Amino acid sequence: MPAAAGHSLARPRPVDQVDPSEVTINSILAGRCLTAVFQPVFDIRSGRIYGYEGLTRGPPRTRLESPLRLFEAAAAQGVREQAEQLATDVVMQRFGQLKRSGILSLNISPDVLEAIIIDGSKLREKLTLAGLEGARLVVELTETHAYRDLERLQKCLAILRALGARIAIDDLGAGYSSLRLWSELRPEFIKIDRHFIQNIHQDALKLHFVRSLTEIAHEMRCTVIAEGIELTEELEVVRDVGIKLAQGYLLGRPEAVPTGKLPSRIHEVIQTSMLSVFPIQSIHPLESVSASALAVPIAPVSSKTTLATVYQRFVDDQDLLVLPVVDEHKPIGLLNRHRVLEEFSRQYRRELLARRSCKSLMDSSPFVVEASMDIQSLSTLVAAGKRRHFVDGFLITRAGRYLGIGDGLHLMQEIARLQIRTAIYSNPLTLLPGSVPLDEHMQRLLDAGAPFAVAYCDLDNFKAYNDVYGYRRGDEVIRFCAEVLTKACIPGRDFLGHIGGDDFIIVFQNPEWEHVCRSAIGQFDERRRDFFEPEHLAAGGYFARGRGTSELFFPLVGLSIGALEIQRGHYQSISEVSVRTAALKAQAKRAAGSYLALDTLK
């Protein structure tokens, strides 16, 4: 048996005695020339160390220093098991020498796991030599290794658990089989792949994925570890999702002698009562939905089908308006219900047409679209096409093969539905979040008992401005207001929503929110001059039609804000907050000019 595979935990050869030019995988194994480094895993609720992931490095300043290259070379030489066993020995021995608290997490492939477990005695011996208790060992299983025999693996894990050790699934989400392993093996830990953690504060899909995994893990009584955290924004989102354990360069890099302490600036991040602003998925419905969503799979006829058969199809199905004509899966025409029934109703035409091919009455130049076309482009083509394409419909194909029938009415209905959905989630004029994500964020703050403030912002005399300058200029003023309010917000802390028309809501976690509101009003009043004619600026307003028939003088458009501070327990629901802020906004609008109305019911 090679030295690397033996039971002994002999001291590794000092790496500074290794000649870089002579390093091979076999020389590394023979000389036990590996070192161990440890990356801390922290409890990001308390800031305390939870344990370490043990990692291996080859001789420094050599091509095999990288663990990836090291184990690739070992696999190429057929000694991967020996290399992994040596790495396990070195990491366990060094961790025992360091006498650090917490768990030791080790990556072990199934075949090596089986080799070192046997009946449990070999692993028990390794733990004893390293001075470790079984309860401090976590074995990470990764999808980079194949699992051909789950039953055998489960027996190995049963032995591990009998020793007190626990199991983790590494890189969860990197492939579909890791999800199956989670279900089959019921590990005590899952480690979410770093791909889903990186930039999670900017990616709504990653956030949704991680939240879903976290909820499932909670139901399965499984602890989640987030890997690869490098930014404070990532840490904040991971914490607010409810993940307990985390590791990454932001918290601590792999070191030969780890400190096990969080940097003070990271302590401040995890101890703050503020919540992160979750990213919101950008919705462009007319581009994200394809023509395939409109396809109704009407059974086609072929060009050899007689008109008598077609006529009977229309008679039997009163809702059938068109019939596609398809030869060898390719559409060649459309049959219109009204035309066929009209021809058959004329005197002597039934006998004349009954045995003819349906081609004689079909539209041989139908509108054909590919299923992948987005409905924005489709609606443009239908509008620019012939009227019959809107009424009779169009043929939808996938890779040239008939898929179904679409029509103009359902196209318009789908566009309207998606536009309404988009307006709820984001405002198409300013691209700011709409009422649904705004309510979700506010509810998170209420549930957490976090202090925050809500400001309801509204433009004064805006209808009169639209009447005088037109709606296009009015849209420019709304976008200008959005710009002013956006600059007033701290990214990742404050939430600005556009709930419709000229109404905006800001949810502040900035404790200086009152000063910010007053500053925003000042900025608006100072820069609004660009949107008025000189004579209106000089007069301080203009005449426009009021609610009656007579014209009234209206002051320049101003910005009114009603704001209140929310403390724990003061408000139980979003509805209560909404009622109070609406009343404050109305109070602000009754004042002359731009105005900030504050809550006086404290």
pLDDT by residue (tens digit) across 122-136? Answer: 788 888 888 899 999
Q: Is 16 inside a domain boundary?
A: no
**Same domain (yes/no): 406, 534:** no
Domain boundary, last residue among 384, 416, 448: 416
Residues 314 and 319: their CA atoms lie apart, in Å, by 8
Residues 26 and 317: their CA atoms lie apart, in Å, by 78
pLDDT above 70 covers a percentage of the chain that reads: 89
Q: Is 306 inside a domain boundary?
A: yes
Range(s) of the domain holding residue 509? 428-598
**Same domain (yes/no): 189, 308:** no
**Same domain (yes/no): 246, 180:** yes
**Same domain (yes/no): 433, 562:** yes
Residues contacting residue 112 through CB under 8 Å, at least 6 positions apart: 81, 84, 85, 88
**Same domain (yes/no): 412, 499:** no
Do 56 and 70 contact (CB within 8 A), yes or no? Answer: yes
Residues 346 and 361: their CA atoms lie apart, in Å, by 14
Instruction: Please determine, for residue 5, whether its predicted confidence score (pLDDT) is greater than 50.
Output: no
**Same domain (yes/no): 119, 218:** yes
Tell which residue, 417, 443, 384, has the closest CA to residue 566.
Answer: 443
Structural domain count, the chain: 3
Residue carrying the six token digits 């349906």:
358
Residues 538 and 301: their CA atoms lie apart, in Å, by 73
CATH number of the domain bearing residue 214? 3.20.20.450
**Same domain (yes/no): 249, 315:** no
Can you list the alpha helix ranges (DSSP code H) found in 470-559?
A: 471-488, 513-527, 534-539
**Same domain (yes/no): 385, 296:** yes
**Same domain (yes/no): 42, 180:** yes
pLDDT top residue among 156 and 188: 188
Structure tokens at 448: 């957490």
Of 15-19, 186-190, 265-269, the least confident: 15-19
Q: Is 536 inside a domain boundary?
A: yes
Residues contacting residue 284 through CB under 8 Å, at least 6 positions apart: 422
pLDDT above 90 covers a percentage of the chain that reads: 54
Domain boundary, last residue among 245, 271, 297: 271
Instruction: Please determine, for residue 4, whether its predicted confidence score (pLDDT) is greater than 50.
Output: no
- pLDDT score for 410: 79
Q: Is 4 inside a domain boundary?
A: no
Q: Is 279 inside a domain boundary?
A: no
Domain boundary, last residue among 394, 416, 438: 416
Residues 557 and 560: their CA atoms lie apart, in Å, by 10
Q: Is the dihedral of CA 127, 51, 140, 80 positive or negative?
A: negative
**Same domain (yes/no): 119, 226:** yes
Residues 294 and 601: their CA atoms lie apart, in Å, by 53
Residues 532 and 480: their CA atoms lie apart, in Å, by 13
- pLDDT score for 3: 36
Residues 37 and 106: their CA atoms lie apart, in Å, by 11
Q: Cα 337 to the chain's mean position, in Å?
A: 46
Q: Is 280 inside a domain boundary?
A: no
**Same domain (yes/no): 101, 241:** yes
Q: Is 422 inside a domain boundary?
A: no
CATH number of the domain bearing residue 524? 3.30.70.270
- pLDDT score for 18: 52
Do 56 and 87 contact (CB within 8 A), yes or no? Answer: yes
**Same domain (yes/no): 471, 540:** yes
Q: Measure Cα distances from 519 to 22, 203, 554 in Å.
A: 68, 31, 24
Q: pTM above the 0.95 mark?
A: no
CATH number of the domain bearing residue 383? 3.10.580.10
Instruction: Please determine, for residue 7, whether its predicted confidence score (pLDDT) is greater than 80.
Output: no
